[in-house]
Amino acid sequence: MSLQEQFAQDLTVAHPDADLHWVALNDIAAAFRLSPEAMFQTPANSNVHPSSLQPVLKRSLDLMIAVPMAVLCAPLLAVLALIVRLDAGGPVLFRQTRSGQDGRPFEILKFRTMTVMENGETIVQAQVDDARVTRSGKWLRKTSLDELPQLFNVIKGDMSLVGPRPHALAHDTYYGDRIDTYALRQTVKPGITGWAQVHGHRGQTPALDDMRARVGFDVFYAKNASLALDLIVLAMTPFEVLRGRNAH
């Protein structure tokens, strides 16, 4: 039985009434798509008794991938840093305080793609054709190469390869007051990529319903986190990056 088939069987047993739909994405990666309404109705105890080995396996997977990638990507990181410095001047890295697992704050790392370095009570999301995005920042954001420094966040243990994307503290406060299930996404480590992102939920969220839909995928992941699900997300991520949906 393939990994996808095992995952399908597990989800079918766990959520027989959750309106699951099979989506064949490509020959390598396929996964269940869950409607946002069904995600919010996922039983609260669906992942309350994970295997005691799960955190160890997840951390092992993170290090097995992040450490070699950081080493192999070192020349690329150096070139990208030089490009950012020559194009925009000033700091090469963007640092911002975000909430990790259980709300613990940490400093996320990204290549700087904008002329601003917001890290306070007012954070304005990047928009389409945003004048604050630098020339190099446009293609760094489009290709998600600006996220590569987060490999060091993973190695440090603040983040995982897979998990809900961490938001700025100001956005946590804003959306936490408006979306009842928002805090559930912080019961697991944040990730470089996630279940929401591989389903197209990245970039700007101009309407509250946009964030509510993203949170639905995040909550589903938090309640069903497993090594199998992480592997599926990792397999889907390159294809989603190539599609470039909502990347700006």
Could you tell me how many residues make up the chain?
Answer: 248
User: What pLDDT is attached to residue 7?
Assistant: 46
User: What pLDDT is attached to residue 50?
Assistant: 55
Task: Give pTM, 2 decimals.
Answer: 0.79
Query: CA nearest 198: which of 32, 55, 37?
Result: 32
Instruction: Give residue limits of the domains in the chain.
Output: 50-243
Give the Cβ contact number of residue 209 at 10 Å: 10
Could you read off the pLDDT tens digit of each residue along the chain, which spans 248 residues?
Answer: 544 454 455 445 444 444 444 433 333 333 444 444 444 444 444 554 456 788 999 999 999 999 999 999 999 999 999 999 999 888 999 999 999 999 999 999 999 999 888 787 777 888 887 889 999 999 999 999 999 999 999 999 999 999 999 999 999 999 999 999 999 999 999 999 999 999 999 888 889 999 999 999 999 999 999 999 999 999 999 999 988 777 66
Distance (Å, whole) CA 100 – CA 57: 19
Burial of 230 by CB count in 10 Å (0-12 exposed, 13-18 middle, 19+ buried)?
buried
Give the Cβ contact number of residue 43 at 10 Å: 11
Give the Cβ contact number of residue 47 at 10 Å: 20
Distance (Å, whole) CA 128 – CA 90: 24
Strand intervals (E) in 64-196: 93-99, 105-111, 160-162, 191-193
